[in-house]
Each structure stands twice: as structure tokens, then as C-alpha cells.
């Protein structure tokens, strides 16, 4: 009889321990790569190159999961498919309003046009918080059709300030960066979890204007996902690449090699369909790996 009581007692202890383990898992902050392509996606419309014939990548975006809340960084034209892929891998985050918050970097087509799926023509969310810079908030408020999302209360705009942390149990710090300002300022983000941090800058004209700040951001980061749109300056024959300024990966590597040694593990993302880094066997990919850098991967997860 004593042995039976002892067995029951042990079983009850094991059952009691299960919620604690689940709570611990749910409190972990994860950053998930939803896409790695430049705004036009891969395959890009009209493209017949090898990468477009053989590969498919969603437009660059991140999801953050923490305490069963889910936040999105940039709402891309691929949002429907990205959300389906995300929830198939993490069904615990499914909710009527889709996201607990959306962060926007700037007003270029690959970074905010997915907001259209929040409107009444689609799921018609209710006051989804959209965090963005003041210029982006004004852009969405004053321009159709985005202004309907505001007036219909599908989204609630929340302006942030560069350098000022936003705390959700983990922190997101907006970082001002220079990038073609046709409509709004551009921001990257430093995402700080309980143990580690991730730097995210998918678009920038050049590193030099923020070189000192970038080194400080590296010091605070365990991982960095950075603008890798073009590997070199000869990828758009017939087009003036100065009209679409991005630091080439070649230049970025050269610049970063001159920095002090950091713990930051650097990945390149936001890649154009012309970028040979997307070809695993390319000489450029081998050179990147030899230099100690990596290419971001679809559905890659970073635990913070």
C-alpha cells in the first residue's frame, strides 16, 4: 500500500511540473525569418534568371514570438503566405486579430503594403497597433487607401522615437538609418530579449553615415540581419544602381573587417534576385563563408 501511495505521489509531482515547463518555453523570445528577398520577391516578376527559375523566397520580414504574443516587423506583399507559414509552424500564436503589434521600417513597397490585408476587404482587424516613425504615421493617415485602415479602426498608429525602447517583456529599440526618402524616414531595430539581442537593418543607403553608431549597435548584438540587396555593383545592367543605393555585400565585408572584433554573428538578408549569394555553390557564397559571414535562411529562428 505504501508503495502505491508513493507511486501516486510521484505521478502528481510530475504532472504539477508540466505547466512550469510550458510557461518557461512560452516566455522565451524568438525571432523568426519570414522572408529574405528584396521588395520584388523571388521569383521577381518577368525574371527568367536561374534564381527565379529554381528558388522561391518571400519578401524580407521578421516575426517575434514572446509570451504567446506575436509581433511583425514589416508587412510585406507576401503577408498572407508568410502568416500561413508562421502559424503552421507555431499554431499557438493564432488569434483573431493576427498580431499583437506591427512595426514598420519605412514606406517602400515591400515593407508596408501587406497592411492592405488588414482592411475590411479582407480580415478587418480591430485596432491592431502599428508602430512606426512620425513621418510613416502621417503618410498612412493622409494617403488613400491606407487612411481607410486608420479611419475604419483596423489599425491604431503608434509613433515611436529613435533610440527610445518599447518594452513588451522584451525590448525593441528603433534606430534611424539613411535610406531613399521619397516618402518617409527609415528605421532599423535592435531587439533585446532576456538573454540575447538581434540587430535588424534590411535597408540602408550606406553604412558610413552611421559607422560609429553601427559599431555601438554591434557591441550590443549577438546577431545582426543586414542589408544584402546586391553582392556587387554590376548586377543591374542597363540600370543606374545609384538610383537604388544599397551598400554592396562586398563593400560591407570590407568595411566590417576594419571594425574591432565583435561577438555579433552577421547574416545578410533583403537580397535581390540578381544576388549570387542565393546560389549555394557560387564563388561569392564561398567567399562570404570564408570571411565568416552568412546568408539568412527562410524560417530561421533566433532565440533571445
Which pLDDT tens digit goes with each residue over 126-167? 999 999 999 999 999 999 999 999 999 999 999 999 999 999
Given a cut of 60, whether residue 173 has pLDDT beyond it is yes
Per-residue pLDDT tens digits for 47-93 = 998 899 999 999 999 999 998 899 999 999 999 999 999 999 999 99
Per-residue pLDDT tens digits for 200-228 = 999 998 999 999 999 999 999 999 999 99
Query: Mean pLDDT across the stretch 263-274?
Result: 95
Alpha carbon distance 74, 136 (integer Å) = 12
Per-residue pLDDT tens digits for 87-127 = 999 999 999 999 999 999 999 999 999 999 999 999 999 99
pTM above 0.85, yes or no: yes
List of E strands, the chain: 30-35, 61-66, 69-73, 101-103, 128-132, 155-159, 166-167, 171-177, 186-192, 197-201, 223-227, 265-269, 294-295, 301-303
Question: Domains of the chain by range and CATH?
Answer: 28-303 (3.60.15.10)
Amino acid at each position: 500500500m505504501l508503495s502505491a501511495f508513493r507511486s501516486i505521489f510521484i505521478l502528481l509531482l510530475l504532472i504539477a511540473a508540466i505547466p512550469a515547463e510550458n510557461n518557461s518555453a512560452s516566455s522565451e523570445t524568438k525571432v523568426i525569418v519570414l522572408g529574405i528577398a528584396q521588395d520584388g520577391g523571388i521569383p521577381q516578376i518577368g525574371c527568367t534568371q536561374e534564381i527565379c527559375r529554381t528558388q522561391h523566397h518571400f519578401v524580407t520580414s521578421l516575426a517575434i514570438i514572446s509570451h504567446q504574443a506575436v509581433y511583425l516587423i514589416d508587412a510585406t506583399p507576401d503577408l498572407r503566405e508568410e502568416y500561413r507559414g508562421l502559424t503552421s509552424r507555431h499554431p499557438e500564436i493564432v488569434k483573431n486579430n493576427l498580431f499583437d503589434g506591427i512595426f514598420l521600417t519605412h514606406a517602400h513597397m515591400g515593407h508596408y503594403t501587406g497592411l492592405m490585408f488588414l482592411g475590411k476587404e479582407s480580415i478587418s482587424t480591430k485596432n491592431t497597433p502599428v508602430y512606426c516613425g512620425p513621418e510613416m504615421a502621417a503618410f498612412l493617415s493622409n494617403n488613400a487607401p491606407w487612411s481607410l485602415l486608420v479611419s475604419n479602426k483596423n489599425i491604431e498608429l503608434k509613433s515611436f522615437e529613435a533610440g527610445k525602447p518599447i518594452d513588451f517583456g522584451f525590448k525593441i529599440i528603433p534606430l534611424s538609418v539613411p535610406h531613399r526618402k521619397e516618402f518617409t524616414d527609415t528605421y532599423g531595430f535592435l531587439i533585446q530579449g532576456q538573454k540575447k539581442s538581434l540587430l535588424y537593418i534590411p535597408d540602408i543607403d550606406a553604412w558610413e553615415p552611421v559607422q560609429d553608431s553601427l559599431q555601438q549597435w554591434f557591441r550590443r548584438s549577438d546577431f545582426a540581419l543586414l542589408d544584402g540587396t546586391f553582392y556587387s555593383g554590376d548586377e543591374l545592367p542597363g540600370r543606374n544602381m545609384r538610383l537604388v543605393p544599397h551598400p554592396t555585400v562586398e563593400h560591407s565585408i570590407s568595411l566590417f573587417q576594419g571594425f574591432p572584433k565583435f561577438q555579433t554573428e552577421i547574416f545578410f538578408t533583403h537580397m535581390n534576385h540578381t544576388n549570387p549569394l542565393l546560389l549555394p555553390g557560387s564563388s561569392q557564397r564561398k567567399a562570404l563563408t570564408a570571411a565568416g559571414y552568412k546568408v539568412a535562411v527562410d524560417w530561421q529562428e533566433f532565440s533571445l
